[in-house]
Structure 1
Amino acid sequence: MSPSFVHYDINHVLGTGQSLSVGSVGTPPLTLTQPYDNLSFVTGVMTEATGLTSFIPLVEGDLCTGTTIAVETMSSGMANLVTKMARESLLVDQPAGKTSHDLLVSVHGLGGIAYSGLKKGTSAYATGMAQVTAGKALTTDAGKSYVVRAVTNVHGESDHVALNANYAADLAQWQADYEADVKALTGQSEPIPMFQTQMSSWTKLGTPLSTTSAIPLAQLAAHVASGGKIVLVGPKYHLPYAPDGVHLTNVGYRHMGEDYAKAYRRVVMEGKPWEPIRPRTITRKGAVITVTFHVPSPPLALDTTRVTDPGNYGFEYVDDSDVTPGIDEIVVSSADTVTITLFSAPTGANARLRYAYRGIPGAPGGPKTGPRGNLRDSDSTASRNGDPLYNWCVHFDEPVP
């Protein structure tokens, strides 16, 4: 536990994004009872700006605005694993009354909406601020302490279709607006990071359907540039997708929530930076490229059981020569290092190493069909639902010296 961590009775997490943030097609709901003391507003996990008059135990199955279909969002998966980890390990030695970390989760995302329809100045953003105002008022009236800990964001598809070249900057502005406006409402000094995952389903999106996408790379770039304000949890290609190849199954949403929970634990509760599996350094000597990675839980592994091999475990080398050498061998050479041997020493300029970068237009997202790779770590965090909570390497496109 971070020495600077301050306990609050109610820890509010705001959820924004588009359809994956609201559990679209994630039927039927799975989390129908609340095992801890996590909360939603009386109007449910996905709620508007009105009717926020009391709290109820956090469960799934409430009705998404504008639909009559009850779904599983990522909310309960995240909140319940956070509280489990807090009670069973992080807070066990704390004073009485401070041995739990109870979350209030409220989602104000909208399906099919780009950043321009969710940013500050929109009705969706105003709904988030109304949720903060109501959360603080209800908690204060009950004689309890309140803080907004984070914003979760599941987004990017509509900006991919719109070819938004400014998406990394948009993410930075989005997080900054939430932090400034929430602090103005609550008076808190605690930061409000934005947790996000990369879009991994672009092959089913766009006109024409896409082979590559700039959005996952922008999501990575925003993480790297933000100094911890924007936290990239990881990609989504390892999760189970619905038949439409864009949305997740109910199990997939719950699993994604637990992926967010691990990053939340490290950043919010332990006060440490979260780094997904991404290149730390890339070097080349002759035909051999050596990549050291940030690895949350070493050692690295190449797993073709949970994610099928799309070819070369998802790695790709390119340059501007007429005859670019192909990849001969890929091995995990140490706990945080992958060694890639080309068939010959490259001679072209503008050399790049890519991973999970390219997919087949029209292919559904997911661990057997979508843009993907096989590199993961050995994280042994126990899921509440029996899911393997390994961290998987992010989509990337990096220069090779």
Structure 2
Amino acid sequence: MKNSNWFILLLIVFAFVGCTSSGKKKTVIAIPVYGQSLALGEEAIRITDFDSLTKKTHHLVVTQNLDEEFGYLSDTPFKQWLKKVTHDRHRAFELSIYGMAEVVTDYFQKKGYGDSVILCTFPGGRGSTSIVDMDKGDPAYKKFLDELKGAYDKAKSNGWDFVVPAICWMQGEDDITWKKSTNYKKDLKTFQTDIDKDIKAITGQKHDVVCICYQTNCLTLAKGFNANSFDSKDTQVPEAQLELIENDSLFMASGPTYPYSFARERVHIDGISQKRLGYLAGLSVVRLFESKTSNGVTPTKFSVAGDTAIVKLNVPSPPLVFDTVAVVNPGNYGFSVIDSSNTNILQKVILKNDEVKLVCKKSPHGCKVRYAVNGMINKSGYKHGPRGNLRDSQGDTLKVTILKKVYPLNNWCYQFDVLVK
């Protein structure tokens, strides 16, 4: 179980706070988002009405200022302050954390914690930036920590407790395109280690800060992308995000971006997509509180039997299905098997229970087994971008209505690129 002590701590906090006679003692639970343009909602036309958000969440959601004045993000503290005092809503985009907040506060209400807790959430980071330029010591990183420190100080001045169970991570597009990070997995783990240490220095908490990690899938924006290139470096970033989710207890899954619609089918998911992905992040937060794992639909084992590669998968909500309605089939449901001569040898795909069998023209030993490594050049999303059709069935019971349309909250398989030996 991932970070199970969080659940024990929160139970103690809720029980203690709920017993206070004054009703004024609260715990502020901070879960912000950090990253590049997707974290900041670039191009995502806002669909969340801030007044409706505060009412729907029973005034349990606040910004880094511990108020309900959302939508004033800017690069510098001064510009951000100026936007707020002038009520400048320009570039107040839809953010995934609004959807996340709805899920988490609904959980608080159902558990009877509504009088005891407040959820603090806000965005941080910088658009069009490599992970190596927004890590420890960078102005964006410092601003993010300063805002957390400001929220902490305000909470303590009110006599409230303040903890940070997790942050949401949405960064990687720049490093797919320009490959400034030479070891994205190492860089992301270093960031998580640094932010964990720096947040603990602010809050004094002993419990680790978990990284709820999406997956970026915009491979076709990389110069010279070739889905059949055996030695392709374009999958380094999404593969690193996947591996940390699979193998590091301080990383949890929200979901990949390929099942969603993108503004101009390019870099940024649109407003509805931000909301949908935010709901999945919220479900991961709830699982963290309840000491449950959240690895998403991810491969757990690769094997070879004759001319067939077998991929065994983690399935949060069985059964697995191939969905060609929500995501356009790119061919073979998004799977490929690439040999050292840059040839796709895959002939047929068979899904049974928690396994996908990839029947090939010859033995797949020494080949790259891939999923969602495809797509039209310079396109992203469920129609033309790198994509696949494999998902679980969580959406059969968990759905959300956005702008009068119902969306199932399925978990889609993370993109992967693995050498089968």
TM over 0.5, shorter chain: yes
Taking the aligned partners of 1:332 and 1:102, their CA distance within structure 2 comes to 44
2:264 aligned counterpart, secondary structure = coil
**Residue in structure 1 matching 2:350, options 312, 328, 331:** 331
Instruction: Tell me if the contact between 1:74 and 1:253 (Cα under 8 Å) persists in the aligned partners.
Output: yes
Pairwise CA distance, 1:234? 2.2
Q: Please state if 1:180 is matched with 2:197.
A: yes
Q: After alignment, is 386-395 or 4-13 more displaced?
A: 4-13
Instruction: Tell me if the contact between 1:309 and 1:374 (Cα under 8 Å) persists in the aligned partners.
Output: yes
| Corresponding position of 1:117 | 133
- Residue type matched to 1:85 in 2? Y
| Corresponding position of 1:83 | 105
Pairwise CA distance, 1:85? 2.8
Instruction: Tell me if the contact between 1:63 and 1:71 (Cα under 8 Å) persists in the aligned partners.
Output: no
Alpha carbons of structure 1 residues 290 and 213: separation in structure 2 relative to 1, 3 Å:
closer
Q: Please state if 1:129 is matched with 2:145.
A: yes
- Residue type matched to 2:329 in 1? D
**Residue in structure 2 matching 1:368, options 366, 383, 395:** 383
Pairwise CA distance, 1:14? 2.4
Pairwise CA distance, 1:272? 2.5
Taking the aligned partners of 1:322 and 1:87, their CA distance within structure 2 comes to 54
1:158 aligned counterpart, secondary structure = helix
Q: Please state if 1:249 is matched with 2:270.
A: yes
**Residue in structure 2 matching 1:219, options 238, 241, 244:** 241
Gaps of 5+ in 1: 57-61
| Corresponding position of 2:35 | 17
Pairwise CA distance, 1:151? 1.4
Instruction: Tell me if the contact between 1:317 and 1:327 (Cα under 8 Å) persists in the aligned partners.
Output: no
Instruction: Tell me if the contact between 1:4 and 1:271 (Cα under 8 Å) persists in the aligned partners.
Output: no
**Residue in structure 2 matching 1:38, options 61, 67, 84:** 61
Taking the aligned partners of 2:91 and 2:342, their CA distance within structure 1 comes to 54
How many residue pairs were aligned?
A: 377
1:273 aligned counterpart, secondary structure = coil
Alpha carbons of structure 1 residues 199 and 323: separation in structure 2 relative to 1, 3 Å:
closer
Percent identity between matched residues is 27
- Residue type matched to 1:177 in 2? D
| Corresponding position of 2:375 | 359
Pairwise CA distance, 1:112? 0.9
Instruction: Tell me if the contact between 2:172 and 2:237 (Cα under 8 Å) persists in the aligned partners.
Output: yes
Pairwise CA distance, 1:383? 2.5
TM-score (norm 1): 0.86
1:134 aligned counterpart, secondary structure = helix
Taking the aligned partners of 1:209 and 1:357, their CA distance within structure 2 comes to 10
Q: Please state if 1:315 is matched with 2:299.
A: no
Taking the aligned partners of 1:207 and 1:326, their CA distance within structure 2 comes to 25
1:243 aligned counterpart, secondary structure = helix
Q: Please state if 1:273 is matched with 2:289.
A: no
Taking the aligned partners of 1:215 and 1:323, their CA distance within structure 2 comes to 23
2:318 aligned counterpart, secondary structure = coil
Alpha carbons of structure 1 residues 172 and 295: separation in structure 2 relative to 1, 3 Å:
same
- Residue type matched to 1:172 in 2? K
Q: Please state if 1:377 is matched with 2:395.
A: no
Cα distance per residue 1:326-384 (max 9 Å; x no partner):
322x23211x2222323x442x641221100233222x211111000000001132335
Instruction: Tell me if the contact between 1:283 and 1:289 (Cα under 8 Å) persists in the aligned partners.
Output: yes
Pairwise CA distance, 1:161? 2.3
Gaps of 5+ in 2: 15-26, 228-233
